Amino acid sequence: MAFPHRLDAPELPDFSMLKRLARDQLIYLLEQLPGKKDLFIEADLMSPLDRIANVSILKQHEVDKLYKVENKPAVSSSEQLCFLVRPRIKNMRYVASLVNADKLAGRTRKYKVIFSPQKFHACEMVLEEEGVYGDVSCDEWAFSLLPLDVDLLSMELPEFFRDYFLEGDQRWINTVAQALHLLSTLYGPFPNCYGIGRCAKMSYELWRTLEEEEDGETKGRRPEIGHIFLLDRDVDFVTALCSQVVYEGLVDDTFRIKCGSVDFGPEVTSSDRSLKVLLNAEDKVFNEIRNEHFSNVFGFLSQKARNLQAQYDRRRGMDIKQMKNFVSQELKGLKQEHRLLSVHIGACESIMKKKTKQDFQELIKTEHALLEGFNIRESTSYIEEHIDRQVSPIESLRLMCLLSITENGLIPKDYRSLKTQYLQSYGPEHLLTFSNLRRAGLLTEQAPGDTLTAVESKVSKLVTDKAAGKITDAFSSLAKRSNFRAISKKLNLIPRVDGEYDLKVPRDMAYVFSGAYVPLSCRVIEQVLERRSWQGLDEVLRLLNCSELAFTDMTKEDKASSESLRLILVVFLGGCTFSEISALRFLGREKGKREQKVGCGGQGAVLRKAPRLAPAPLAGLAVGGIAG
């Protein structure tokens, strides 16, 4: 059933202040171009902008018309053009083409480019190369933290994961450091800091440099958040690759949550119109089921429908005065709750149809086998069948990556076979996909000799080459224990339960994966917070290849209140999943803390549709995005 909110949970900081700051800064930048102006907005900034400053606010500050940045000539007749864009080369070429087209037509206009979240020198270089640098004024909208809910922030940086973890581009580290600096300026210094991963360490060091340069801004401030934990996404790829089974995660997988809202189509609304719904704690129905395992959701919604009907039925037998009070005080709220209930029932039905069609139960069963290290050959056969049936290109890749990481790379024979089948099913253009997955460490091939054991070597001399090959395949999964297997055993990530796991009354964070697996990222956070350091986790750090990349910085807690010390900000660098957010909320309730989450990335993570930031009994922040 829905988790009860702890009465003793500490209050969260007011993160709406971040919205107000971003709105005021944007208005200031727009007013630097006095008079009527047309605003060109990049597509992936439209949703974040709508959460900060809607159309009516923009109109109040003399924005006449809004246009989407796209590859076609501008039709604006305004004498002033303003561009709100990401710092991307293609955007600069777009702006330059408009300016040069006006020059050829003999038209003079004012142009202003506002970069979000920051301006890069490379963009100015492109404008200079195109010969328009002197015609365009450039500024930056340092909008880096978007509150999505009371305990969730997002940096909405869709390219963060690819840029850093694939290309090795470190340009966004300064953006992360600036965001952390802003948080410490607004909400006081963080008495206790922990982190793991190369990106986390670099972001932390740059953040500390900024703090030292502006020493005094946070001095004397009483901390509102007692702990901050920075975690790189590549510390735990496994969790990001597992199918989500909590309601919010399934909604994201099915309908795609963007900036905390989702567009439900006619199949959900039972009408000919789509409906945009904001998914946060203000939606009472959603708030009670968002962290629930999907198997519990229908039962809850059915009970909710009966309760609502009972409240409506109270009208019978009321006198005029009671009816008047009912209509003025309760009816509007009941109608709103009824509408939301109808929407979420429709969403559940749509999810069920899609997952039934995809044979979701068999997919989950295969994932659990890979996590536990059982029936690897059967799981590989299932993946091959999944590819041949062309069920989903993304799902097939996720399964291949999960197999690779849990087995410390695919044996050459399986790698070649799966790759060939995938390219035949989905096209040779995915050769680049395999190259990128290999570079990111998500889908790798074991090097020759990695899996040869002494027994296997002796046996191979006594049999033919063909037979030896078969024996090599048979021994390969046993010959080398992957780091994930060792980490899983060390941290008890695979719970051992007598009987069936009770998903209605979960006992640990494993419920977010049907009781089969505790998210590695969340377990690491739990262990470090219990110890208040990395002490005793040396072996875990070695297995994670992070012995030199874990840090702890604990300052005096004299000024920190007991309430603030129960607040933890978790920062995912590279995106996080809704499963991890649900697991951290569960951990916060169990420990009596509140965790906020912040995410950097696209959304969802790695092979999902996108990554984010977040706060709660544990709080969280996701750099990149949140994914389901």
Give the model's confidence band at 338: pLDDT under 50 very low, under 70 low, under 90 confident, else very high: confident
Read off the tokens for 395.
């799902």
Give the model's confidence band at 339: pLDDT under 50 very low, under 70 low, under 90 confident, else very high: confident
Read off the tokens for 301.
């919604």
Residue 482 predicted with pLDDT over 50: yes
Residue 321 predicted with pLDDT over 90: no
Q: What is residue 577's three-state secondary structure?
A: strand
Among 2-16, 125-139, 331-345, 575-589, the range scoring the smallest mean pLDDT is 2-16
Burial class of residue 548 (count of CB atoms within 10 Å of its CB; 0-12, 13-18, 19+): exposed
Give the model's confidence band at 312: pLDDT under 50 very low, under 70 low, under 90 confident, else very high: low
Residue with the larger pLDDT of the pair 358 and 226: 226
Q: What is residue 482's three-state secondary structure?
A: coil
Residues 237-250, mean pLDDT to the nearest whole number: 96
Q: How far apart, in whole angstroms, are the C-alpha atoms of residue 27 and residue 599?
A: 26
Residues 499-523, mean pLDDT to the nearest whole number: 93
Q: How far apart, in whole angstroms, are the C-alpha atoms of residue 595 and residue 103?
A: 54
Give residue 202's pLDDT: 97
Nearest to 48 by CA among 181, 161, 144: 144
Total count of residues recorded for the chain: 628
Residues 592-597, mean pLDDT to the nearest whole number: 68
Residue with the larger pLDDT of the pair 134 and 271: 134
Residue 218 predicted with pLDDT over 70: no
Residues 364-386, mean pLDDT to the nearest whole number: 95
Residue with the larger pLDDT of the pair 210 and 2: 210
Q: Express each pLDDT in 18-62 by its tens digit.
A: 999 999 999 999 999 999 999 999 999 999 999 999 899 999 999
Read off the tokens for 588.
């916060």
Residues 381-408, mean pLDDT to the nearest whole number: 95
Give the model's confidence band at 510: pLDDT under 50 very low, under 70 low, under 90 confident, else very high: very high
Give residue 594's pLDDT: 64
Among 4-8, 110-114, 539-543, the range scoring the smallest mean pLDDT is 4-8
Q: How far apart, in whole angstroms, are the C-alpha atoms of residue 625 and residue 259?
A: 9
Q: Does residue 311 contact residue 338 with C-beta atoms inside 8 Å?
A: no
- Can you tell me which residue has the tokens 């009354």? 505
Give residue 70's pLDDT: 86
Give the model's confidence band at 611: pLDDT under 50 very low, under 70 low, under 90 confident, else very high: very low
Helix (H) or strand (E) holding 166: none
Q: How far is CA 585 from CA 174, 550, 610, in A?
A: 29, 24, 21
- For residue 147, give the DSSP letter: E
Residue 347 has a CB neighbour count (10 Å cut-off) of 24
Give CB contacts under 8 A, 24+ apart, made by 277-283.
277/340, 277/343, 279/248, 279/251, 280/148, 280/149, 280/150, 281/149, 281/150, 283/340
Q: Express each pLDDT in 569-592 by its tens digit.
A: 999 999 999 999 999 999 998 887
Give the model's confidence band at 598: pLDDT under 50 very low, under 70 low, under 90 confident, else very high: confident
- Can you tell me which residue has the tokens 């039709």? 75
In sequence order, which residues have a C-beta less than 8 Å from that of residue 75 and are 6 or more positions away?
Answer: 67
Q: What percent of the chain has pLDDT over 90?
A: 69
Residue with the larger pLDDT of the pair 314 and 240: 240
pTM: 0.86
Residue 479 predicted with pLDDT over 60: no
- Can you tell me which residue has the tokens 């006992």? 507
Q: How confident is the prediction for the chain on average, in pLDDT?
A: 85
Helix (H) or strand (E) holding 565: none
Residues 156-172, mean pLDDT to the nearest whole number: 93
Read off the tokens for 562.
């007991």
Residues 429-457, mean pLDDT to the nearest whole number: 77
Give residue 272's pLDDT: 86
Q: How far is CA 61 from CA 16, 51, 54, 66, 74, in A?
A: 22, 17, 12, 13, 22
Residue 464 predicted with pLDDT over 50: no
Give residue 268's pLDDT: 93
Give the model's confidence band at 207: pLDDT under 50 very low, under 70 low, under 90 confident, else very high: very high
Give the model's confidence band at 560: pLDDT under 50 very low, under 70 low, under 90 confident, else very high: low
Among 217-231, 316-330, 479-493, the range scoring the smallest mean pLDDT is 316-330
Among 67-76, 236-245, 343-352, the range scoring the smallest mean pLDDT is 67-76
Give the model's confidence band at 73: pLDDT under 50 very low, under 70 low, under 90 confident, else very high: confident
Residues 381-387, mean pLDDT to the nearest whole number: 96
Q: How far apart, in whole angstroms, are the C-alpha atoms of residue 1 and residue 288?
A: 9
Q: Does residue 560 contact residue 223 with C-beta atoms inside 8 Å?
A: yes
Residue 251 has a CB neighbour count (10 Å cut-off) of 27
Give residue 299's pLDDT: 92
Helix (H) or strand (E) holding 504: none
Residues 131-140, mean pLDDT to the nearest whole number: 94
In sequence order, which residues have a C-beta less than 8 Å from that of residue 16 and are 6 or more positions away?
Answer: 147
Q: How far apart, in whole angstroms, are the C-alpha atoms of residue 445 and residue 412?
A: 6
Q: How far apart, in whole angstroms, are the C-alpha atoms of residue 215 and residue 537?
A: 33
Residues 408-421, mean pLDDT to the nearest whole number: 95
Q: Express each pLDDT in 120-131 by its tens digit.
A: 999 999 999 999
Core vs surface per residue 309-334: b (16+ CB within 10 A) or e: eebeeeeeeeeeeeeeebeeeeeeee
Max mean pLDDT among 4-8, 463-467, 481-485, 538-542 falls in 538-542
Q: What percent of the chain has pLDDT over 70?
A: 82
- Can you tell me which residue has the tokens 């070429």? 93
